[in-house]
Structure 1
Amino acid sequence: MRALVVRPGIPNSASIEEIEEPVPDSSSLLVETLAVGICGTDREIVGGSYGSPPAGQDYLVLGHESLGKVLYAPEGSGFYPGDLVVGIVRHPDPVPCGNCAVGEWDMCSNGLYTEHGIKQLHGFCSERFCIEPRYAVKIDPALHRVGVLVEPASVVAKAWEHIERIGKRARWNPRRVLVTGAGPIGLLAAMMGIQRGLDVHVFDIVTGGLKPVLVKEIGGTYHTGNLHDIGFKPDVVLECTGVGKLVFEVMQSIAPNGIVCLTGISSGKRLLEVDVTSLNRGMVLGNEVVFGTVNANRRHYKAAASSLAMADRAWLERLITRRVPFRRWAEALSRQPDDVKVVVDFTIE
């Protein structure tokens, strides 16, 4: 069968190649790939700066944002042919650490976890793949056009879960939320904030086009320009850009008892001059919390699927700004100005 493979560490080595057909054993699902989402991690792997192949192999099948249809399911697995499924990206480490042992592999403490399409496990950008039922999440058939958003939404579901758990340290009644960055993660974070009945504001450098429209369509407020001009101090910030200067700005801009969740991963090196003394004083006296989050476990995937099922389907479809046929995969990796989420679609030619 055909798969999009890369030689990790070798820039621009990605290509479609013939690899062995997956053969399910008595405890695995066989899944036909319908769509694979593309994100910055995929571009970094193709660029040679990231990724590692499975043991004993020199290539890695790309793709960690999946949507597929079950072709074969073992009896008693809870899955049936025709089910729509999403693959969970991270698998627990083999030791395992305390977190992995209880299914919290997104919080792995020894770094020995593996990840589909990223770290020592083949990804989902192949015509078919096998996966154990415990690493597959069944989703609503109505999400057949947008189910590929479950993986990025799972990252946001975890972020919101941890925000709410931290908020329980005291009486907490958040009203205003600021999301920085109107990419897929930021827009899904805004959507989940709206679903929670919060007053959601999104800040981005883009002044026109689709992103401001998408924010307004779900009832949010869109801001651009200078962060300090938004006119309020948010109770919650979800920082989704990884831009160093903006990270420090949001840490200085939250309300007392506020929570800042960092989801964006910074790249490159840039020195900033920061008044750490004032930042520290404000955080201590304001009982403020800053934390980072990455990845997701099964609970978060299920929460993400539920959130998407409740959302406006047409709005979700508009997040997917380009659907690229598998044979033209390189187009999906090339950024375009109006992109939000780009998908490799196996159902179109």
Structure 2
Amino acid sequence: MRALTVEPGRAGSLTVTEVPEPVVGPDELLVEGLALGVCGTDREIVRGEYGWAPPGKERLVLGHESLGRVRTAPPGSGFHAGDLVAGVVRRPDPVPCGACGHGEFDMCRNGRYTERGIKELDGFGSELWSVEPAYAVRLDPRLADIGMLMEPTTVVAKAWEQVDRIGARSWFEPRRVLVTGAGPIGLLAALLGMQRGLDVHVLDRVTEGPKPGLVEALGATYHHAPADDVAARLEPDVVIEATGAGQVVFDVMAHTAAYGIVCLTGVSAAGRRLPVDAGGINRELVLENDVVVGSVNANLRHYRQAADILAKADIEWLAGLITRRVPLDRAAEAIETNEDVKVVITLDENG
């Protein structure tokens, strides 16, 4: 069968490779791969900046934003042939640490976790893949064309859960949220904010292309002015930061409402230096009981939350996030960056 593989650490090694079909254990699902979402992590791996092959192998099957259809399922698994599913990316470390031992493997404390398509486990970028039922989540059949949005939605579900848990330290009824960045994570964060009945604002630097229209169609407000100006005017109760741009991060931190929560989901590039008023930031955080928290990855609970979020969303709006689809044999085109919101690689011949 065909699979999208890369040699981690070596730029330019991405290729479609013939690999053996998966050997499916008696307690595993055999899944026909339908599509694969592409994100910044995939691009880092292709550039040779990140990623680890499975032990004893040189190449890694790429892909963690999965969508597939069950071909065979073991009796009693809760799954049946024809079910639409997504695979969970992370697996707990074998030790395990306390967090992994309690099912919170997204919060692994010793770094020995593994991840499909990223760290020591082959991903979902193949025509067939296998997965344990405990690490698969069934999707609403209506999501057959856009279910690869599941994994980025889990990231958003966890981020909002973190906001809720921090807010619960005292009375907390947020009204206004600012989302910085109108990529898939930002737009999905805005979706969840709208589902919660909040006054949602989205900030991005572009003025053309699909992003402003997607925000407006959601019922949120789009901004493209400097982050410092927008945040100062809005004074949001919650910020979901999805750009990873250092200046944006510090600008929004300085302008939340009292008892504000800033949740960072964007990963910044190391090495860039910014002049920062550290004393002023410290004063603001302490005197206003503000919180800045980082959030990454997701556990099984967040996958189930994400399945519910997508099932309740407008399917046409979700479809608008996917701005380009390419077949597996042209997968290299999906890695190229342009003005796309989300690029998808189709794995089945009818995709």
Q: TM range, normalised to the smaller chain?
A: over 0.9
Where do residues 138-217 of structure 1 align in structure 2 (5 Å cutoff)? 138-217=138-217
Deviating above 4 A after TM superposition, structure 1's stretches of 4 or more consecutive aligned residues are none
Q: Tell me what 2:307 maps to.
A: 305
Partner of 1:256: 258
8 A contact 2:37–2:63 mirrored in 1: yes
The CA deviation string for residues 169-211 of structure 1, in whole angstroms up to 9 with x for no partner, is 1111100000000000000000000000000000011112210
Determine if the alignment matches structure 1 residue 83 to structure 2 residue 47.
no
* Superimposed CA distance per residue, residues 77-108 of structure 1 (whole angstroms, 9 cap, x where no aligned partner): 11100000000000000001111112110000
Q: Is the 8 A contact 2:228 2:252 kept in 1?
A: no
Distance in 1 (alpha carbons) for counterparts of 2:255 and 2:326: 40
- Distance in 2 (alpha carbons) for counterparts of 1:151 and 1:69: 16
Shift of 1:340: 0.2
Provide the identity percentage.
59
Q: TM-score, normalised by structure 1?
A: 0.98
- The reply to whether residue 344 of structure 1 matches residue 345 of structure 2 is yes
Letter paired with 1:118: I
Secondary structure at the counterpart of residue 31 of structure 1: strand
Equivalent residue for 2:124? 124
Equivalent of 1:270 in 272, 287, 293: 272
Which amino acid in the other structure matches residue 295 of structure 2?
A: T
Amino acid at match of 2:127: E
Matched position secondary structure for 1:134: helix
Q: Does 1:293 align with 2:271?
A: no
Find the aligned partners of 1:8 and 1:73 in 2 and give their Cα distance: 32
Q: Which residue of 1 aligns with 2:133?
A: 133
* Distance in 1 between residues matched to 2:229 and 2:54, nearest whole Å: 49
Which residue of the partner structure matches residue 283 of structure 1?
Answer: 285
CA deviation digits over 1:3-44, x for unaligned, max 9?
A: 111011111101011111112111111000000000010011
Structure 2 alignment gaps of length 5 or more: none
After superposition, the C-alpha distances for 1:201-237 in whole angstroms (9 at most, x for unaligned) are 0001111221011001111000012223322200000
Code of the aligned partner of 1:23 = V
SS of the residue corresponding to residue 22 of structure 2 reads coil
5 Å-filtered alignment, 1:47-66, equals: 47-66=47-66
Deviations 1:234-281 (A, max 9, x none): 000000000011111111010100000000001142110000101100
Cα deviations by residue, 1:24-75 (Å, 9 ceiling, x for unpaired):
1111110000000000100110100100011111110000000000011001
Q: C-alpha distance in 1, partners of 2:265/2:342? A: 17
- Residue 164 of structure 2: SS of its match in structure 1? helix
Quick one: which amino acid aligns to residue 35 of structure 2?
Answer: A
Q: Tell me the amino acid that sits aligned with residue 265 of structure 2.
A: T
Paired residue secondary structure (1:307): helix
Single out whichever of 52-61 and 267-276 deviates more from structure 2.
Answer: 267-276
Name the CA distance, whole Å, in 2 between partners of 1:127 and 1:200: 39
The reply to whether residue 13 of structure 1 matches residue 4 of structure 2 is no
Q: 1:330 aligns with which of 329, 332, 351?
A: 332
1:245 aligns to what SS in structure 2? helix
Q: Does 1:3 align with 2:3?
A: yes
Distance 1:48 1:61 in 2: 14
Letter aligned with residue 248 of structure 2: L
Asked if the contact 2:14/2:46 (under 8 Å) is kept, the reply is yes
- Unaligned segments of structure 1, at least 5 residues: none
TM-score norm. by structure 2 comes to: 0.98
Distance in 2 (CA, whole Å) between partners of 1:272 and 1:264 is 17
| 8 Å CA contact retained: 2:154, 2:303 | yes
The residue matched to 1:32 in structure 2 has which SS? strand
Aligned residue-pair number:
348
Partner amino acid, structure 1, of 2:342:
K
The answer as to whether partners of 2:125 and 2:347 remain within 8 angstroms in 1 is no
CA distance in structure 2 between the partners assigned to 1:171 and 1:48 by the alignment: 46
- 2:267 maps to amino acid: I
